[in-house]
Amino acid sequence: MLDKAQRQQLHDIAYNSIKSGLTSGRALTIDLTKLDAVLKTRRATFVTLQKHGQLRGCIGMLEPVRPLAEDVAHNAFAAAFSDRRFSPLQADELEQLDIHISILGTPEKMTFDSEDDLLAQIRPGVDGLIMEEGHLRGTILPSVWESVQDKKEFLNHLKMKSGLPGNYWSDSIIIHRYSVEEF
């Protein structure tokens, strides 16, 4: 868990990385020597941008590949300029953004013998899920629980995000669950 100052520091990094993207076309360069040790640990993050309550970009990593502060800077920049669902962010949008940072916990492989068994194990409001089926892979953050009715709808969204039909099921599906620290 991060303290209030560390959370604010990461939020500032995300904001300044987007601002850097608008002026230089590159993510903010992070000087790790000036940061707390916790911000230097390898962590996987997602940065979600909203404008007037609507999704404006969301990019992240499922595995920790770089220090937390660098991951936030990279993903904030990518959410603003590289999310294929949206056009690149324009300068006049910056002050209209709400920036949400999700720090992922370690994914835990789930064991189940049917879709009903999987559904029974899912924890609404807590679990984010990663689905793998063959070469297809997708994830849904726990924040999506705010916009779905139930576990079945959550799972169907995950299937579609993974490139599968909502009613798809196979015994070869692999599911991992994770929690997040979100701010």
Q: Which of 3.40.640.10, 3.40.630.10, 3.30.1490.150, 3.40.50.300 would CATH assign to domain 108-182? A: 3.30.1490.150
Backbone angles phi, psi at 50, to 5 degrees: -125, 145
Specify whether the CB–CB gap between 107 and 175 falls below 8 A: no
Q: Could you tell me the residue ranges of all domains in the chain? A: 4-104, 108-182
Tokens 């707390």 identify what position?
Answer: 36
Tokens 């994914």 identify what position?
Answer: 107
Fold adopted by 4-104: Glycoprotein, Type 4 Pilin (3.30.700)
- pTM for this model (two decimals): 0.90
- What is the model's pLDDT at position 149? 86
Backbone angles phi, psi at 65, to 5 degrees: -120, -10
Residues in the chain: 183
The CA distance from 104 to 172, in Å, is 25
Residue numbers in the chain where pLDDT is lower than 70: none
- What is the model's pLDDT at position 105? 95
